[in-house]
Amino acid sequence: DVGPGATILDALGRIEDGLAERASNYRGVVFIPIRQLAQLHSLGALLTEPDGTFLTPAGHQVIADAGHQGDNTLFGTTQLGYSIQSSVDLNDYVAQLNRVHNDIRWMAELYMIAVFNKAHTVKATVTGSSL
């Protein structure tokens, strides 16, 4: 916990400081609630890549998702590690025969694991409602 920020900009600054201490020159990831994404974007606090990716002023990637719990907490982490299964599992038991089009649709699954170092993770909470 890098402490509370009185405003969304203050909380983002605390996240940026926390990642600078932990990530050195690596690009981290900042997770924010969708409501806060709209507010930060309207304030001009986020940079936008040509592909539509949002970045913090320090260059960390911003991810906003409806699954993010709470409207006032921001999280940051250094680079994430992941591994994806190399072979695809075709599950024939969920195959669906469409008799109108005479085709079968199979469900394919891959398993993935994501890991991160807890010591390289930061959290800041917005305590005020003003900008």
Chain segment 21-50, per-residue pLDDT in tens: 887 778 888 999 888 888 888 888 999 999
Residue 91, strand partner residues: 107
Helix (H, G, I), strand (E, B) or coil at 22: helix
Q: Is the pTM of this model over 0.95?
A: no
CB-based contact 62:30 (threshold 8 Å): yes
Helix (H, G, I), strand (E, B) or coil at 81: strand
Q: Which residues of the chain have pLDDT under 70?
A: 68-70, 88-99, 101-108, 116, 129-131
